[in-house]
């Protein structure tokens, strides 16, 4: 395996590209975070994304940030651990770091992650080691993740065209051409190419809000997905609420947690999913690819799981804890959105989960409820708890979606991949 296919110096050379990267940085801070003066910012980024991290830092200070702290990660260093570290390394994680992050969030800091990784970075490594390292990481990250999942603070994810990611998405293209193609796709999908990207996001958020309001009025008891290899009832949590686009975090700041985003989503009841479902796209999970997923649910939990590729990783993933076999999210995504229309498989959840309707195994979002509930009340209403949250795609133009009321009466919600009304 080639460890470093390309040099890291990939900052765009022409000024048009520079201008677009700047607009992405501006979107990240103004639309993604909605950063308010006096806030600290904690950012994570791959080392390759240094040019974007710098532009975001500049935008953040201009928006009134008191301090921007960036933690960089490096793929090669991550691999060196698998090549040279002693066995006990794979049960170790930097818990002190995540406790520090959690302390920053409790102190009011916003969180930004630049996303863009080699989707098959760890595919050649021993699955057992990968699983142990993931588990240790998930456990250690919990204090910080809880605050993010509960929207305690404003946070956002924004993409960067990492060369190894570009190579995975466009394997036929030469390295530089692949990076350019990926950037072009990113700029189109994130609306950086719009005449006024900030206005385009305001309009997009208004559309998602209208859809969210419609579903909240309909108050379905469950959703029924039907298509080739899929006949699945997803029961919704008691008191669930649909969300989509921008929202207010608990600190009152209004932002978009994901750039891009095309989904409206809510919390399923962890014990009320029934039937079988086939994934409509491969899932890129922690550096490995799981393809051809078919699972069967009984009383909310996966009782059978198959994959044509990555079966061992799938099994390890759903064995993480009791909640890893149950659903924590269901999301509806029409096929006409820019990510779906691009036809590109990104091997990256931030993009691929927005290309099709999806479900997520694991942790539920406590915000997807009609009011704020205590942890105990959330569990009582059906919200799932887990160390993982893994989205995978089950929607396509061929998959029909109905909303069911408590008596089972069906209302068409999606046909041919589009909203019915």
- Whether omega before 260 lies within 30 degrees of 0, making that bond cis, reads yes
Nearer to Zn ion, 26 or 353 (CB): 353
Q: Nearest to residue 345, comparing CAs of 73, 53, 120?
A: 120
Nearer to Zn ion, 57 or 212 (CB): 212
Distance between CA atoms of 232 and 237, rounded to whole angstroms?
16
Nearer to Zn ion, 40 or 391 (CB): 391
Q: Compute how many residues bind Zn ion; rule: CB under 5 A.
A: 7
Nearer to Zn ion, 92 or 113 (CB): 113
Q: Which residues of 161-198 are buried (b: 16+ CB within 10 A; e: fewer)?
A: bbbbbbbbbbeeeebeebbbbbbebbbbbbbbebeebe
Nearer to Zn ion, 169 or 364 (CB): 364
Distance between CA atoms of 133 and 130, rounded to whole angstroms?
5
Tokens, residue 33: 């975070």
Using CB under 5 A as the binding rule, the residues of this chain from 285 to 324 that contact Zn ion are none
The residue behind tokens 């809880």 is 146
Using CB under 5 A as the binding rule, the residues of this chain from 100 to 129 that contact Zn ion are none
Distance between CA atoms of 84 and 221, rounded to whole angstroms?
52
Closest separation in Å from C-beta 388 to Zn ion: 11
Distance between CA atoms of 355 and 335, rounded to whole angstroms?
7
CA angle 38/39/44 to nearest 5° reads 150
Closest separation in Å from C-beta 225 to Zn ion: 15
Nearer to Zn ion, 170 or 242 (CB): 242
Burial of 406 (0-12, 13-18, 19+ CB in 10 A): exposed
Closest separation in Å from C-beta 228 to Zn ion: 22
Nearer to Zn ion, 60 or 327 (CB): 327
Closest separation in Å from C-beta 390 to Zn ion: 8
Closest separation in Å from C-beta 329 to Zn ion: 5
Closest separation in Å from C-beta 358 to Zn ion: 6
Closest separation in Å from C-beta 148 to Zn ion: 12
Binding mask 137-176 for Zn ion (x = CB under 5 A): ----------------------------------------
Among 118, 391, 400, 402, binds Zn ion (CB under 5 A): 391
Q: Taking the mean position of all CA atoms in its chain, how far away is CA 55?
A: 23
Q: Is 331 in the site for Zn ion (CB under 5 A)?
A: yes
Distance between CA atoms of 359 and 235, rounded to whole angstroms?
12
Closest separation in Å from C-beta 370 to Zn ion: 19
Nearer to Zn ion, 34 or 244 (CB): 244
Distance between CA atoms of 39 and 37, rounded to whole angstroms?
6
SS (H, E, C) 137-175: HHHHHHHHHHHHHCCCCCEEEEECCCHHHHHHHCCCCCH
Using CB under 5 A as the binding rule, the residues of this chain from 261 to 280 that contact Zn ion are 263, 265
Q: Segment near Zn ion (CB under 5 A), from 41-49, 156-164, 285-293, 357-365?
A: 357-365
Binding mask 234-263 for Zn ion (x = CB under 5 A): -----------------------------x
Q: Is 329 in the site for Zn ion (CB under 5 A)?
A: yes
- Strand, helix or coil for residue 367: coil
Nearer to Zn ion, 79 or 330 (CB): 330
Distance between CA atoms of 238 and 267, rounded to whole angstroms?
9
Closest separation in Å from C-beta 20 to Zn ion: 26
- φ/ψ (deg, to 5) at 285: -125, 115
Q: Segment near Zn ion (CB under 5 A), from 8-16, 38-46, 326-334, 406-414?
A: 326-334
Q: Segment near Zn ion (CB under 5 A), from 31-39, 76-84, 202-210, 354-362?
A: 354-362
Beta bridge partners of 155: 111
Closest separation in Å from C-beta 115 to Zn ion: 13
The residue behind tokens 């008691």 is 238
- Strand, helix or coil for residue 102: helix
Closest separation in Å from C-beta 401 to Zn ion: 15
**DSSP category for residue 41:** E
Nearer to Zn ion, 57 or 286 (CB): 286
Distance between CA atoms of 316 and 383, rounded to whole angstroms?
22
Tokens, residue 100: 């520090």
Nearer to Zn ion, 360 or 394 (CB): 360
- Strand, helix or coil for residue 103: helix
Q: Is 40 in the site for Zn ion (CB under 5 A)?
A: no
Q: Segment near Zn ion (CB under 5 A), from 222-230, 237-245, 336-344, 385-393?
A: 385-393
Where do contacts with Zn ion occur on this chain (CB under 5 A)?
Answer: 263, 265, 329, 331, 353, 360, 391
């Amino acid at each position: 395996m080639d460890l470093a296919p390309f040099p890291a110096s990939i900052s765009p050379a022409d000024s048009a590209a520079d201008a677009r990267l700047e607009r992405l940085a501006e979107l990240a801070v103004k639309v993604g975070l909605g950063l308010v003066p006096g806030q600290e910012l904690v950012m994570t980024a791959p080392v390759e994304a240094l040019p974007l991290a710098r532009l975001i830092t500049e935008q953040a200070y201009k928006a009134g940030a008191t301090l921007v702290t960036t933690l960089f990660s490096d793929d090669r260093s991550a691999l060196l651990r698998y090549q040279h570290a002693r066995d006990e390394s794979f049960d170790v994680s930097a818990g002190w770091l995540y406790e520090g992050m959690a302390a920053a969030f409790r102190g009011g800091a916003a969180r930004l992650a630049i996303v863009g990784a080699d989707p098959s970075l760890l595919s050649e490594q021993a699955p057992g080691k990968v699983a142990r390292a993931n588990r240790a990481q998930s456990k250690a990250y919990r204090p910080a993740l809880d605050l993010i999942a509960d929207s305690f603070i404003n946070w956002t994810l924004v993409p960067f065209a990492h060369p190894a990611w570009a190579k995975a998405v466009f394997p036929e293209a030469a390295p530089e051409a692949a990076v350019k193609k990926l950037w072009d796709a990113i700029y189109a999908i994130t609306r950086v190419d719009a005449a006024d990207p900030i206005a385009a996001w305001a309009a997009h958020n208004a559309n998602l809000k209208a859809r969210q309001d419609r579903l909240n009025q309909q108050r379905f008891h469950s959703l029924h997905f039907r298509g080739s290899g899929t006949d699945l009832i997803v029961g919704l949590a008691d008191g669930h609420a649909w969300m989509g686009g921008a929202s207010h975090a608990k600190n009152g700041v209004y932002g978009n947690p994901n750039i891009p985003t095309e989904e409206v989503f809510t919390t399923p009841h962890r014990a009320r999913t029934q039937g079988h479902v086939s994934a409509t796209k491969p899932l890129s999970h922690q550096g490995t690819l799981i393809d051809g997923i078919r699972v069967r649910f009984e009383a909310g939990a996966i009782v059978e799981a198959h994959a044509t590729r990555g079966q061992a990783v799938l099994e390890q993933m759903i064995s993480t804890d009791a909640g890893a076999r149950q659903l924590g999210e269901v999301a509806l995504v029409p096929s006409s959105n820019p990510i779906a229309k691009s036809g590109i498989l990104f091997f990256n959840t931030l993009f691929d989960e927005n290309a099709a309707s999806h479900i997520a195994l694991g942790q539920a979002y406590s915000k997807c409820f009609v009011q704020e509930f205590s942890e105990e009340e959330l569990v009582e209403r059906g919200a799932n708890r887990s160390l993982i949250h893994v989205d995978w795609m089950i929607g396509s133009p061929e998959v029909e979606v109905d909303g069911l009321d408590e008596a089972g009466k069906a209302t068409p919600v999606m046909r041919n991949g589009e909203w019915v009304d």
